[in-house]
Structure 1
């Protein structure tokens, strides 16, 4: 066991061996000995003292968790500098990518995009309102199938129904929805709105549309 009074006399190779052995006293010594200079190095890249300190701490945490990262025949101080600089550069790359992503999102928020998004939400709401108008049991079965993703057998078991009854409820729901959405009401919608509504309805209708 290395004594506290002797740690300062250890070579870099000996310090690395002790870190490999999970010697907390030696690890703390290395941390305290190099932290400030490493934080200053990271600051040169990230220009933020708090972030620089966090990056150095993350490097030391990784070393503690994976001491094998330190080569026993390597130079400890040089490794720490290289690890911190690489971590700072990766941080900047990540932040740049995030900023670019946010910039692309902001650029896509044109008036036309927002208008289309609002119209789509209104059409979705229209479909949901029509679903709520279905007979109670039919509505329940339909939502369990289309919104909860349950299979006919699962719905049948939960509601004490036969699978055929569940299927009939779904078929009836789709017939009523199609009729109410496209034939009986809302004739003031233009062609584009009707097309979008049909696309949304197809997502809800799924594979059973071919049976109608």
Structure 2
């Protein structure tokens, strides 16, 4: 397997080979690079951001569990788009004759749904705990932006700092969080759980993810 520092320089074909070899760093790199654009592609069909994100995650989990789905000589990005769109279309077919509220009631009664809900809440709690460990001013700016929904200008005015300083605090917070959540991670977590944690982190990072 290649070194982590070399992953960003690999071609699509080389990345696919690394996934076939179960290289988690390569898989995570692809996940973080394409997650948002694939979620937007799915959203065009299902019209629900949460469901779109779940569909994309399911596609990635299936790829991790069955890397042979990826053709080493194929175009990776094109395959991901095709897989996500097909998954979205199949979802719509399944939901076509089921009233949404009936579906939710049935889903809420399953052990799987309750387990996933509990796990998601535990992962959110883990993220919130890490946010509280950030430097005081950094944590304050981050929460004002991500939880209070304030714009950079509004935060800058309230704290009497520049908008650039606000942006730097948020980028620094995201870097620290990613380091603590993924590179100093609990080895007892399975990879599917890590994927869910990545999804929650990607939602927090938003359009700044590519700059981390």
Q: When the two structures are superposed, what TM-score results if normalisation uses the length of structure 2?
A: 0.51
Q: Is structure 2 residue 212 aligned with structure 1 residue 190?
A: no
Structure 1 distance, partners of 2:188, 2:179, is 16
Largest Rg, 1 or 2: 1
**Secondary structure of residue in 2 paired with 1:157:** helix
Gaps of 5+ in 1: 1-99
Equivalences for residues 36-185 of structure 1 within 5 A? 103-108=102-107, 109-185=109-185
Structure 2 distance, partners of 1:101, 1:203, is 24
Q: Displacement, 1:188?
A: 1.6
If asked which structure has higher relative contact order (CA below 8 Å, sep 6+), I would say 2
Structure 2 distance, partners of 1:199, 1:110, is 23
Structure 2 distance, partners of 1:197, 1:171, is 18
**Secondary structure of residue in 1 paired with 2:210:** helix
Structure 2 distance, partners of 1:104, 1:200, is 24
- What root-mean-square deviation, in Å, do the aligned CA atoms of Structure 1 and Structure 2 show? 1.4
Q: Which runs of 4+ in 1 moved over 6 A?
A: none
* Paired residue total: 113
Deviations 1:90-120 (A, max 9, x none): xxxxxxxxxx876543321200110011001
